[in-house]
């Protein structure tokens, strides 16, 4: 699963799920045993759970990196192997 960022124990990934059609641009988050999926455009939680402080960090990170997330999504849909790594750890 292509990792696009990692900070403060939070891992951000973006990948194409086999056999599923991707209608809503989104990214996946893991923090310990917690998993969540966020919509790129709005930053809204689509499914899953994160502790409150990690939720705020992910929301802030997504707002700062929305353009990069959109570009990564376009790469994913075009069939490129994986999304680019977003190196900026600012949150």
**Tens-digit pLDDT profile for residues 42-89:** 999 999 999 999 999 999 999 999 999 998 888 888 776 555 665 555
C-alpha to C-alpha distances, 85 to 20, 40, 46, 48, 53, nearest whole angstrom: 23, 16, 22, 23, 23
Of 67 and 19, more confident: 67
Cα–Cα distance, 37 to 19 (Å, whole number): 18
**Structure confidence by residue, pLDDT tens digits, 35-49:** 999 999 999 999 999
- Nearest Cα to 71, choosing from 21, 14, 10, 28? 14
Residue 69: CB atoms within 10 A of its CB come to 26
């Amino acid at each position: 699963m292509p990792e696009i960022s990692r900070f403060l124990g939070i891992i951000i990934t973006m990948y194409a799920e086999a056999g599923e059609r991707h209608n809503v641009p989104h990214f996946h988050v893991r923090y310990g045993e917690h998993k969540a999926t966020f919509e790129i455009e709005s930053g809204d939680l689509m499914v899953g759970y994160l502790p409150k402080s990690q939720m705020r960090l992910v929301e802030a990170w997504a707002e700062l990196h929305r353009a990069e997330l959109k570009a990564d999504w376009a790469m994913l849909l075009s069939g490129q192997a994986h999304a680019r790594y977003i190196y900026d750890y600012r949150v």
